[in-house]
């Protein structure tokens, strides 16, 4: 076995093991936020004689625990942008998020991945097992077929004659199948839980002006929402 054959054999195996580790490996631990001081512990550890100093210390602790909130005409409105992360739609989602936050001060925009349908997710989980089974059959078919009372078919010998090219093809085809099964092609926009635009139905992305109008029509009745069309025109 020369060096070229070793590279052709080793590269698919290494990449395939990396795919298995990514699929079944543990999820990365999320960074834990530092714990804020407990006001009860602060009051127990520090008991000043001056009542005014104690009140000031409690006010400082309470100010640290309250997150800053941005008030605006669109406060209380939540927009969810659910998109296909494996389709490279994140850039479009970030552009729409910045546009909405600029156009509607106080709005809350959430970005989420839109998963593919359940059958595609199930098949996606089965692809690595099919890859392992195909490679195992290719390498040890002489022992596998007789155990089932079968004679190795002619196509098995033709594939085994070029086993390195066949293994690389199995790995490439499996990765292509996984990429296809992970994609949903979605870019769905929800405003306060109600669907306002669906790329799956429209087969296109919304324009910035169209999305501003759709979200503006969903805002609570206010002077800001009533005059949106006048401002944009």
CA distances from 158 to 14, 17, 138, 163 (A): 25, 26, 10, 9
Lowest mean pLDDT among 13-27, 143-157, 167-181: 13-27
pLDDT tens-digit map of 67-123: 444 566 677 889 999 999 888 899 999 999 999 999 999 899 999 999 999 999 899
pLDDT at 218: 86
Q: Is 155 a residue whose pLDDT tops 80?
A: yes
What's this model's pTM, rounded to 2 decimal places?
0.58
Q: Which two tokens stand for residue 134?
A: 């195909």
pLDDT at 145: 87
pLDDT at 43: 43
Q: Are the C-beta atoms of residues 189 and 196 closer than 8 Å to each other?
A: yes
- When pLDDT is averaged across residues 127-145 and rounded to a whole number, the result is 88
Q: Which two tokens stand for residue 151?
A: 């004679």
pLDDT at 140: 87
pLDDT tens-digit map of 86-100: 888 999 999 999 999
pLDDT band (50, 70, 90) for residue 196? very high
Sheet containing 194-198: which strands, arranged edge to edge?
A: 108-113, 78-83, 187-191, 194-198
- When pLDDT is averaged across residues 171-190 and rounded to a whole number, the result is 92
- When pLDDT is averaged across residues 3-23 and rounded to a whole number, the result is 58
pLDDT at 162: 87
Alpha helices (H) along 80-153: 90-103, 118-147
pLDDT at 200: 94
Give the whole-angstrom CA distance, residue 115 versus residue 186. 9
Query: Which has the higher per-residue pLDDT, 152 or 47?
Result: 152
What percentage of the chain reaches a pLDDT higher than 90? 33
């Amino acid at each position: 076995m020369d060096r070229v054959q070793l590279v052709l054999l080793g590269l698919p195996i290494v990449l395939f093991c990396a795919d298995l580790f990514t699929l079944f490996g543990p999820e990365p631990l999320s960074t834990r936020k530092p714990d804020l001081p407990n006001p009860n512990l602060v009051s127990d550890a520090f008991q000043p004689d001056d009542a005014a100093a104690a009140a000031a210390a409690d006010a400082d602790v309470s100010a640290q625990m309250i997150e800053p909130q941005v008030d605006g005409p669109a406060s209380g409105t939540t927009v969810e942008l659910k998109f296909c992360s494996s389709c490279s739609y994140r850039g479009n989602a970030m552009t729409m998020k910045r546009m909405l936050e600029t156009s509607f001060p106080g709005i809350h925009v959430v970005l989420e991945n839109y998963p593919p349908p359940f059958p595609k997710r199930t098949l996606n989980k089965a692809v690595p097992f099919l890859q392992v089974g195909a490679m195992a059959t290719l390498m040890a078919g002489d022992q596998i077929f007789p155990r089932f009372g079968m004679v190795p078919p002619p196509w098995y010998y033709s594939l085994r004659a070029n086993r390195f090219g066949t293994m690389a093809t199995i790995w490439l085809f499996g990765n292509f199948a996984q990429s296809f099964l992970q994609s949903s092609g979605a870019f769905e926009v929800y405003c306060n839980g109600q669907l306002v635009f669906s790329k799956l139905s429209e087969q296109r992305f919304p324009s910035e002006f169209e999305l501003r109008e759709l979200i503006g029509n969903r805002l609570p009745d206010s002077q800001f929402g009533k005059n949106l069309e006048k401002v944009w025109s």
